Chains A and B, each alone.
Chain A
Amino acid sequence: MNQSPKLNSFRSGPDEDGRFGVFGGRFVAETLMPLILDLQDEWNEAKNDPAFKAELEKLGAHYIGRPSPLYFAERLTAELGGAKIYFKREELNHTGSHKINNCIGQILLARRMGKTRIIAETGAGQHGVASATVAARFGLPCVVYMGATDVERQAPNVFRMKLLGAEVKPVTAGNGTLKDAMNEALRDWVTNVESTYYLIGTAAGPHPYPEMVRDFQAVIGQEAKQQILEAEGRLPDLVIAAVGGGSNAIGIFHPFLDDESVKIVGVEAGGKGLDGDEHCASITAGSPGVLHGNRTYLLQDGDGQIKEGHSISAGLDYPGIGPEHAWLNDIGRVEYVPILDHEALEAFQTLTRLEGIIPALEPSHALAEVIKRAPKMGKDEIILMNLSGRGDKDIFTVGKILGMGQ
């Protein structure tokens, strides 16, 4: 009898209702439901269509610049004196982050569905820029919702979006960050559902988005696995990524989930510390609830009102997390830990000085965790980190904090 208490794979989710264990689902208004079902059908067809796959690969190679390199961070490794550290260089992609992988995939779907208008939400502006970019590339009008706070702290990306022809709509509700932008994008979508494709930027939202975004981002882990095998002849001991909504993390994690020897760690924004409300550690400090179409870990009060999080990094400033991460946490396959603002800031500077790479503040959180763990690991061990984006967008924020402004 087969009585193994273990799942035979960690990669089989979600089920047909979009559930990862108790997480996920389709908690949306009726107006959107028919469209979400259409999207699911379209996605099921597309993912088995060789022509779709071929187009995705072609654009990946010639437009995004895939595969992204796997880089051995020699000086950082020497400095920390422990495990060998490798970066998956998603920051070298066109537009400067992993976000473009998902955008290319979804715009091809939008086109298949005959949609004529693209909307997106953005926090750091990386997803907004990537959306505006693919919209320009495929000749579709694009509206990007962005919290007013983020419009201010990610000014360079606002300018880029506008140059690319997108309309950037600042959202003043709430704290004016990512969750508020997502609410406003959903309101637009409900209103313009016939013409509009909502290009969600992370592995969250109603089914099929979490699965679809993951599959578009899984190219990161697939490439990295092959690259590390080529470089080292074996799998890494530890895979680390920062988690906002969770797309870059699930992208690099997913291909490794069934490799038992690989420890996997997701890094949440610990902000100014988990004691108060000024953080975005949904898993470490939140509880399960329902928001933005899915059940997942959320920052909320005892009445089920969603709290405004805080992070130095706009891209992690979201009080929820993708449902697959919530599940991976509960079953114990992935460990989630918080990193504080100041730790991320220090890591940002370390990488800049030691390796000549200016990372975005989001992956700086993952890097801070690497800096904590590497010295405690053996020199023969290997860490793989997703360097999800470059820091050009953050230089003014960081400069201001460090007093390096004019």
Chain B
Amino acid sequence: MTARMEQRFADVAAEGRPVLVTYFMGGDPDFDTSLAIMKALPKAGADVIELGVPFSDPMADGPAIQLAGQRALKGGQTLAKTLELARLFREGDKRTPIVLMGYYNPIYIYGVDRFLDDALKAGVDGLIVVDLPPEMDDELCIPALAKGISFIRLATPTTDDRRLPKVLENTSGFVYYVSMNGITGSALPDPSLIAGAVARIKAHTRLPVCVGFGVKTADHARVIGASADGVVVGTAIVNQIASSLTEEGRATDATVPGVEALVRGLAAGVRASRLAAAE
């Protein structure tokens, strides 16, 4: 069920602040380090975890996440191992929702039914699959919903009012608003434009709306969080991991603490955001 996701959004809303969604790439730079990162995220203040599934051809990602995927693949990461990461995390944390984010082909090759069963067993709550628009809902979205896994859709600046109902139709969990036409890691656009877009989407749905792409600092999190139900931070975390690695791309003692420190700052940002809005 998506109970865990609903509960988390409800709990955070009751605190009067937006949700902090943190993305990192499963297996970057190796399995054990990424498990340690995953475990550190909620402790540092992350509310929802987006677990990246590496793909050889990440068409919607900028250089930072492309490189993270390459490091993970080089380290032997697979979809099966990413599910294993989720399962090991879930043993110690029953409450933080996990959303798998990636591209369709690895899931298609794994087999949709087998994947959904294994994901459910591993404690996965939702899926974001970049290259499955509503037109392709029969592939994965409908089967996922039938099994009780949320299918979180991306809405973008090109998703106009005419199209929005179609995009929202089978969406569950939350709506992920992509702040600009572009790839991950681009610069954050004017926050007032984003606030307008969030309001537009909220007029069509009762689901929470989280904003991602371009949110990198505590200050961004604070400003965007003033109008959105949540903020998604990805590239900043991935960059933080990359900057801590050795020249050969191995983890160091600074890798996990670096992520923790960054996320603590972002968590402070979301906690300050409604205060800012109330001012």
> Interface residue tally of chain A, by bracket?
35 or more
CB <8 Å contact, A27 and B107: no
- Whether a CB of chain A sits under 8 angstroms from the CB of B79 is yes
Q: Decide yes or no: A304 and B107 within 8 Å by CB, A34-B159, A190-B60 being known contacts.
A: yes
- Across-interface contacts of B73 in A (CB, < 8 A): 305
Q: Known: A17-B135, A194-B181, A304-B79. Is A29-B130 also a contact (CB below 8 A)?
A: yes
**Residues in B whose Cβ lies below 8 Å from that of A307:** 56
Q: Which of A170-221 contact B (CB under 8 A)?
A: 173-174, 179, 183, 186-187, 190-194
Contacts of A183 in B (CB 8 A): 57-59
A191 in contact with B59 given A30-B154, A291-B105, A304-B105 (CB within 8 Å): no
Q: Is A156 an interface residue (CB 8 A)?
A: no
Q: Pick from A27, A186, A306 the residue with the most CB of B within 10 Å.
A: A27
Is A386's CB within 8 Å of the partner chain B?
Answer: no
Find A304's partner among B110, B132, B136, B182 (CB 8 Å cutoff).
Answer: B110
Chain A nearest CB: distance from B128 CB in Å? 11
Whether the Cβ atoms of B57 and A191 lie closer than 8 Å is no
**For residue B106, which residues in chain A have a CB less than 8 angstroms away from its CB?**
303-305
Interface flag for B20 (CB, 8 Å) = no
CB distance from A138 to the nearest CB of B (A): 24
Contact A25 B136 (CB under 8 A): yes
Indicate whether A31 reaches chain B with its CB closer than 8 angstroms: yes
Cross-interface CB contact of A30 among B55, B56, B167, B183, cutoff 8 Å: B167
The residue of chain B having its C-beta at the shortest distance from the C-beta of A302 within the complex is: B109
Please indicate the chain A residues that have their CB under 8 angstroms from the CB of B109 in the complex: 289, 300, 302-304
Whether B183 contacts A187 by the Cβ 8 Å rule is yes
User: Size class of B's contact patch?
Assistant: 35 or more
**Beta-carbon contacts of A220-248 to B below 8 Å, as 1s and 0s?**
00000000000000000000000000000
Q: Is B259 an interface residue (CB 8 A)?
A: no
Say yes or no: B155 contacts A30, CB within 8 Å: yes
Docked-complex contact B107 and A190, CB < 8 angstroms = no
Whether the Cβ atoms of B131 and A27 lie closer than 8 Å is yes
Max chain A CB contacts within 10 Å: which of B154, B158, B159, B163? B158
A17 to B137, CA, bound (A): 12
Min CB gap A293→B, angstroms: 7
Is A26's beta carbon under 8 Å from chain B? Answer: yes
| B153 CB-CB contact with A under 8 Å | yes
> A292: CB under 8 A from chain B?
yes
Q: Which of A35, A173, A174 contacts B158 (CB 8 A)?
A: A35
Which residue in chain B gives the minimum CB-CB distance to A287? Answer: B109
Complex contacts, A28 vs chain B, CB 8 Å = 131, 133
Q: Are B66 and A173 in contact (CB under 8 A)?
A: yes
In whole Å, how far is A210's beta carbon from the nearest beta carbon of chain B? Answer: 15
Type the 1/0 row for B58-74, where 1 means its CB is closer than 8 Å to any CB of A.
Answer: 11111000100000010
A123 to B103: give the CA distance in the assembly, Å. Answer: 24
> Is A33 interfacial (CB-CB < 8 Å)?
yes
What residues of A have a CB within 8 angstroms of the CB of B163 in the complex?
Answer: 33-34
- CB-CB under 8 A from A262, the residues of chain B are none
- Residue on B nearest A31 in the bound complex, by CB: B156
A300 touches B105 (CB 8 A): yes
Residues B131 and A306 in contact, CB atoms below 8 Å apart: no
Indicate which residue in B60, B80, B108, B178 contacts A187 across the interface (CB closer than 8 Å).
B60
Flag whether B244 is at the interface (Cβ < 8 A): no
Q: A25-B136, A30-B156, A304-B107 are in contact. Are A290 and B55 (CB under 8 A)?
A: no
Chain B, Cβ-Cβ closest to A305:
B56
Could you tell me the distance between the alpha carbons of A190 and B59 in the complex, rounded to whole angstroms?
Answer: 9
Q: Which residues of the other chain, B, contact A193 by a CB distance below 8 angstroms?
A: 158, 181
**Which one, B58, B108, B181, contacts A192 given CB within 8 A?**
B181
Hey, what's the 0/1 contact readout for B121-150 against A, CB within 8 Å counting as 1?
000000000111111100000000000000
CB contacts (< 8 Å) of A34 on chain B: these are 158-160, 163
* Residues from chain B with Cβ under 8 Å of A303 in the complex: 78-80, 106, 109-110
Quote the shortest CB–CB distance from A309 to chain B (angstroms): 12
A293–B183 CB distance below 8 A: no
Q: CA–CA, A9 to B203, complex, Å?
A: 47
**A190 vs B154: C-alpha distance in the bound complex, in angstroms?**
13
Chain A residues in 8 Å Cβ range of B167: 30
Contact with A along B155-186 (1 / 0, CB 8 A): 11111100100010000000000100111001
List chain A residues, Cβ under 8 A from B78.
303
Question: Which residue of chain B lies nearest to A34 when distances are taken between CB atoms in the complex?
Answer: B158
| Chain B residue with Cβ nearest A303 | B78
Cβ of B89 within 8 Å of any chain A Cβ, yes or no, is: no
Contact B55 A305 (CB under 8 A): yes
Assembled-state Cα–Cα distance A320/B73 (Å) = 21
Partner of A190, one of B66, B136, B153, B181: B181
Using Cβ atoms and an 8 Å threshold, which residues of chain B touch A298? 105
**Residues of B contacting A306 with CB < 8 Å?**
56-57, 105
* Contact with B186, one of A173, A191, A295 (Cβ below 8 angstroms): A191
The 8 Å CB contact of B183, one of A33, A191, A295, A305, is A191
CB-CB under 8 A from B59, the residues of chain A are 29, 183, 186-187, 190, 292
Asked whether B31 is an interface residue with its Cβ less than 8 Å from the other chain, the reply is: no
B interface footprint on A141-175 (CB within 8 Å = 1, 0 otherwise): 00000000000000000000000000000000110
The 8 closest A-B pairs by CB, nearest first: A304-B109, A304-B106, A305-B56, A304-B105, A191-B182, A31-B156, A303-B78, A27-B131
12 contacts between A and B (CB under 8 A): A26-B135, A27-B136, A33-B159, A33-B163, A34-B158, A174-B56, A179-B57, A183-B57, A190-B182, A191-B183, A194-B158, A290-B131
Query: What residues of chain A have their CB less than 8 Å away from a CB belonging to chain B?
Result: 17, 25-35, 173-174, 179, 183, 186-187, 190-194, 289-293, 295, 298, 300, 302-307
